[in-house]
């Protein structure tokens, strides 16, 4: 049976190390909020990923995920999901970040090592996330409910 699609349908997101234990979703820090971009058009998502690569950022993969489930994941994780419609034209500097990454990005050269070093002891509940510019927020957490939701999202891939 195919995965259930919401009234909104699927969106394209940028994932780092998709399917691994260190999987992370691309996010931006905007005015103290962690924002996850949800692209309607896969070409827009691919272009954004290419711009990240041009800035020597780790190359994310573009993945198709049900919008409603991703929005629920964002709410549960304390993130804000931002939908980027096909043909989107920004009207402000903040909106420009929805189609092109910031010039200054978080230093992620040691991102994977930091995730391993920051791993909480067994039985501890602490979510992993990043902070600054453009980042990859770790998808894993110690929260069993979030882990179950993450596995459901992975099932959609």
Can you tell me the mean pLDDT for 110-125? 42
Judged by DSSP in three states, 114 sits in: helix
Phi, psi dihedrals of residue 65, rounded to the nearest 5°: -135, 145
Confidence at residue 108, expressed as pLDDT on a 0 to 100 scale: 47
What are the boundaries of each domain within the chain?
A: 10-119+126-156
Residue with the larger pLDDT of the pair 40 and 3: 40
Confidence at residue 137, expressed as pLDDT on a 0 to 100 scale: 54
Confidence at residue 65, expressed as pLDDT on a 0 to 100 scale: 94
Phi-psi region of 99 (alpha: psi -120 to 50; beta: other; left: phi over 0): alpha
Q: Could you read off the pLDDT of 29-88 as tens digits, one per residue?
A: 888 899 999 999 999 999 999 999 998 888 899 999 999 999 999 999 999 999 999 999
Confidence at residue 153, expressed as pLDDT on a 0 to 100 scale: 61
Phi, psi dihedrals of residue 62, rounded to the nearest 5°: -95, 125
pLDDT band of 98, cuts 50, 70, 90: confident
**Cα 52 from chain centre:** 13
* Number of H-type helices and E-type strands within the chain: 5, 6
Q: How far apart are CA 116 and CA 136, in angstroms?
A: 14
The fraction of the chain above a pLDDT of 70, given in percent, is 61
Confidence at residue 68, expressed as pLDDT on a 0 to 100 scale: 95
Can you tell me the mean pLDDT for 131-139? 45
Can you tell me the mean pLDDT for 17-35? 89
Q: Could you read off the pLDDT of 119-133 as tens digits, one per residue?
A: 433 332 222 233 334
Judged against a pLDDT cut of 80, whether residue 3 lies above it is answered with no
Judged by DSSP in three states, 67 sits in: helix
Confidence at residue 5, expressed as pLDDT on a 0 to 100 scale: 46
């Amino acid at each position: 049976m195919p995965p259930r699609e919401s009234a909104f349908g699927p969106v394209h997101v940028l994932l780092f190390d998709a399917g691994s234990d260190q999987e992370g979703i691309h996010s931006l820090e905007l005015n103290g909020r962690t924002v996850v971009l949800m692209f309607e058009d896969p070409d827009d998502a691919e272009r954004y990923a290419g711009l990240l690569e041009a800035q020597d950022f780790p190359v994310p993969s573009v993945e198709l995920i049900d919008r409603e489930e991703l929005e629920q994941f964002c709410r549960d994780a304390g993130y804000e999901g931002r939908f980027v419609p096909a043909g989107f034209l920004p009207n402000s500097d903040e909106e420009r970040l929805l189609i092109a990454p910031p010039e200054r990005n978080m230093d992620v050269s040691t991102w994977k090592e930091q995730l391993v070093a920051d791993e909480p002891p067994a039985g501890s509940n602490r979510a992993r996330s990043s902070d600054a510019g453009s980042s990859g927020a770790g998808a894993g957490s110690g929260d069993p409910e979030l882990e179950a939701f993450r596995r459901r999202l992975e099932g959609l891939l």
